[in-house]
């Protein structure tokens, strides 16, 4: 019998209704309310991170911090102000920062800047920065590229979260929310991309520990698969794989904005996918809590 004998469950079909694009129930201009909220997003110069910033602007976020190692579009300020206008909101106060999630001084500078600019307030931290090594078997992999995947995806998420956590927890009336971007790859066995899958799997457990250690302080931590979105990170994947990356960044963005607009203690500490229908998911609270579902567990 070939290995593995059983295809691992990845939860893609957890809800009966699935999405590949945004939909009316999560429209940030009508269904999400973030007025007065302060948001900080890493990996925000393109793709999912950039789309998420625009979605928060549409939902009326008052402060939006965007950080990335890569350059931002020259039109970033204008486009975010236009996004806010779509939701009939005033322009958000913006902080656009160069940030290396592996450089502690860079992170410390970002924390100080955001604290000063956002009046010592941060409601939602979204760890969206990521990296994927080019496909290669473990035996044929490049040591540096393989390990950089862990450095960016796991160590970067850890460092940014640790640094910003006091600010997230400081406001007693705040949302106190951290969202870690994971992937369905955490549950799959895709050969030649083991470093990515393992690092994203580790983020699931990191999120659970983060929640367990800070629940009494009011933290809500979520681990989220954004969907199969064609981003810069995925550009080195095989052509047939790229052809299947048809989910839109707007779907992921609008899901994150809808999810974080209020406090859902029962859902925190769990994994969810942006392809799942949110109204259906939220209606299954009793099932999810009663069965302690959407967490990593050994099957015996």
Residues 226-274 have pLDDT tens digits of 987 777 777 777 777 767 778 899 999 999 999 999 999 999 999 999 9
Tokens of 293: 């579902």
Q: Is position 300 within any domain?
A: no
Q: Confidence class of residue 153 from pLDDT cuts 50, 70 and 90?
A: very high
> Quick one: DSSP state of residue 35?
B
Sheet holding 38-42, edge to edge: 93-98, 63-68, 38-42, 124-127, 177-181, 220-225, 271-273
Q: Is position 134 within any domain?
A: yes
Angle (CA) 257-199-201 rounded to 5° is 70
pLDDT at 127 over 70: yes
d(CA 189, CA 121): 40
Is the peptide bond preceding residue 24 cis, with omega within 30 degrees of 0?
Answer: no
pLDDT at 1 over 50: no
State the total domains in the chain.
1
d(CA 74, CA 172): 36
Is the peptide bond preceding residue 4 cis, with omega within 30 degrees of 0?
Answer: yes
CATH assignment of the domain containing 237: 3.40.50.720
> What is the reported pTM?
0.94
d(CA 254, CA 33): 12
Q: How far apart are the first and last CA of the chain?
A: 21
Q: What is the pLDDT, as a whole number, of residue 275?
A: 96
Q: Residue range 118-137: average pLDDT? A: 92
Backbone phi and psi for residue 66, each to the nearest 5 degrees, phi listed first = -120, 135
Q: Is position 114 within any domain?
A: yes
**Tokens 């999400």 — which residue?**
32
Q: Is position 167 within any domain?
A: yes
Q: Is position 295 within any domain?
A: no
d(CA 214, CA 117): 25
Give the distance, in angstroms, between the CA of residue 115 and the centroid of all CA atoms in the same chain.
21
Tokens of 52: 């998420």
Q: Is position 296 within any domain?
A: no
Phi-psi region of 146 (alpha: psi -120 to 50; beta: other; left: phi over 0): alpha
Provide the sign of the torsion angle of the four alpha carbons 249, 222, 128, 147, taken in this order: negative
Asked whether 170 and 213 are in contact (CB, 8 A), the reply is no
pLDDT at 284 over 70: yes
d(CA 32, CA 260): 9
Q: What is the mean pLDDT of the chain?
A: 93
pLDDT at 5 over 70: no
Q: Confidence class of residue 122 from pLDDT cuts 50, 70 and 90?
A: very high
Asked whether 220 and 265 are in contact (CB, 8 A), the reply is yes
Q: What is the pLDDT, as a whole number, of residue 187?
A: 74
Parent domain of 260: 24-290
Catalytic residues: 196, 200
pLDDT per position as a tens digit, 21-79: 999 999 999 999 999 999 999 999 999 999 999 999 999 999 999 999 999 999 999 99
Backbone phi and psi for residue 64, each to the nearest 5 degrees, phi listed first = -135, 120
Q: What is the pLDDT, as a whole number, of residue 91?
A: 98
Q: Is position 7 within any domain?
A: no
Q: Is position 297 within any domain?
A: no
Q: Residue range 177-181: average pLDDT? A: 98
């Amino acid at each position: 019998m070939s290995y593995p004998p059983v295809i691992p469950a990845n939860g893609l079909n957890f809800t009966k209704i699935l999405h590949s694009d945004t939909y009316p129930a999560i429209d940030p201009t009508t269904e999400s309310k973030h007025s007065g909220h302060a948001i900080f997003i890493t990996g925000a110069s393109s793709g999912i991170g950039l789309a998420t910033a625009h979605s928060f602007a549409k939902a009326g976020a008052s402060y939006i911090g965007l950080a990335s190692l890569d350059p931002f579009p020259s039109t970033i300020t204008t486009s975010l102000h236009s996004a806010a206008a779509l939701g009939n909101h005033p322009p958000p106060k913006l902080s656009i920062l160069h940030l290396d999630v592996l450089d502690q001084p860079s992170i410390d500078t970002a924390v100080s800047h955001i604290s000063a600019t956002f009046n010592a307030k941060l409601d939602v931290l979204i760890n969206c920065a990521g990296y994927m090594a080019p496909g290669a078997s473990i035996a044929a992999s490049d040591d540096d590229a393989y390990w950089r995947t862990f450095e960016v995806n796991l160590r970067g998420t850890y460092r940014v979260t640790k640094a910003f956590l006091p600010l997230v927890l400081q406001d007693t009336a705040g949302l106190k929310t951290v969202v870690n971007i994971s992937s369905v790859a955490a549950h799959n066995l895709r050969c030649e991309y083991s470093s990515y899958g393992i690092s994203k799997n580790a983020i699931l457990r990191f999120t659970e520990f983060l929640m367990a250690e800070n629940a009494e302080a009011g933290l809500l931590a979520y681990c989220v698969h954004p969907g199969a979105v064609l981003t810069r990170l995925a550009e080195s994947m095989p052509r047939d794989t790229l052809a299947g990356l048809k989910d839109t960044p707007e779907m992921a963005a609008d899901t994150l904005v809808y999810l974080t607009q209020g406090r859902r203690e029962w859902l925190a500490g769990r994994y969810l996918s942006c392809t799942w229908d949110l109204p259906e998911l939220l209606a299954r609270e009793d099932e999810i809590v009663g069965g302690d579902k959407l967490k990593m567990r050994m099957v015996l």
